[in-house]
Structure 1
Amino acid sequence: MTMQTWFITGVNSGFGRELAEQLLSRGDRVAGTVRRKGSVDDLQAEYGDRFWVGHLDVTDLPRIREVMDAAFSDLGRIDVVVINAGYGLFGAAEEFTDEQVVHQITTNLIGSIQTARAALPRLRAQGGGRVIQISSVAGLAAHAGASLYHASKWGVEGCMEALAQEVAPFGIEVTLVEPGGARTSFSSSSLQLGEPLAAYDGTPAAMVRVFGHTRVPVPGDPVKVAAKVIDSAAQKPAPMRLVLGSDSYQGVTVALRGRLAQVEPQQASAAETDAGT
């Protein structure tokens, strides 16, 4: 197997950490980013020069390009860019502060866009590569109590689907990964709740409050999820979407069928607004 070089944002925990560990253990090189210095010292000690680490908070938008350029300059070529850093903000839309809203969108959506944009000139110059965006079932299905998280992930979905068409002529392929719930540290370290408003007590939006004090059982195995993501990088052509988890498959298919059921009966009335009708 030919050694590849991967760039992964957010390798200190969750899917990012699992991806880095599996890739390094099989002999690949990894350029990983962390917000907290020292959080991956164990991997650096074990893998040495094969593990390049950059300090990055993706809300620091100018820093994204600095870190990306440094990784390409130091490593020469990067075959796969994994955009993974992000977190979940849950609660009713009016339970958040303005600062929380901006931070969620900046981290999950704008940070993802800017990471891809920083990588594209380098990938074009080297004649191709792969961009893998970690999205979520929440990018295709929506539920009360997650409106801002959905806003960030739905934005990512549209951006990356269009981006895939834009960069295909340059040999760059794009995959959106759609995991369901997985047994990572997401619920303890990457999940934030808005300040509850009494008006929402007992409503569907309040259901997410359980995340704050109860560990919700989820089916996904992060080891298996990471392995599937790694395997997808070798698929030709790249899958546009990689659905991982039985809960994700169910959530996505129910949502898409529901949308079709809303739209299809409107075929005739939609045409009534065409010019000349």
Structure 2
Amino acid sequence: MQGAERRTRIAIVDDDPALRDGIADMVRTEGYEPLPCGSAAALLGLMDGPHEPDLILLDLRLPDRDGLAVAGAIRSASSVPIIMLTGRGGDLDRILGLEIGADDYVVKPFNSRELLARIKAVLRRLGRERLPERPTPALRNGYRFAGHELDLDRRTLTAPTGTPVALTVAEFDLLAALLKGHGRVLTRDQILEMSHRGNDDVFDRTVDVLVLRLRRKIEPNPASPRFIRTERGLGYVFDGDVEVFRARE
């Protein structure tokens, strides 16, 4: 069914029925349409049918297929956002998931409010809730650099050509942190703290992966970065002129 009345669909892919049903109840209460899937096969069947989800919550430990392989297969054919559900010991899974193109991850066991906040952030940024279009207001809170415009209110990045640059939630938060601290070297721990990920059981390698992904999207030559420079043994620094905007209270 097409049109404004269709609810945003969220696929919940987990082989734990209790967890799956609990998430389904939570998103249903928020007005979304849950699409529970107990296996990779169920999700892939859903993707091939008429009810493709607007967002996928994907457990990386599935009984019939590796979740990372499923995420890679989906990403090769679809831009539907993916939030990974990972275990605390799955550091490598999180790195590989981010490299494949997952939009975010939540570590089990997670707080339901945190998961809901991540869902809403991804949907809002990608416009998956199908809100009516409105004239784009002038930048009130954000940064400009080399013709790029990062809008903190709308959580968007616009290229010098005026076209939107697709960023995942984690990439957006990283860029915002780097721009906020522009001109000074930030350690990985500082970046994690500034991007509000200090309590997410994240690690240094996560920042490195996100920096590589972000460079591919904003650098003229990612192999020779102009904006995001590496300070070996220290961290990263955003180099260049940055114009800061702040709305008056």
The two structures have a TM-score, normalised by structure 1, of: 0.29
Higher relative contact order (CA 8 A, sep 6+): 1
Q: Which structure has the highest helix share of the two?
A: 1
Q: Larger C-alpha radius of gyration, 1 or 2?
A: 1
TM-score (normalised: structure 2)? 0.31
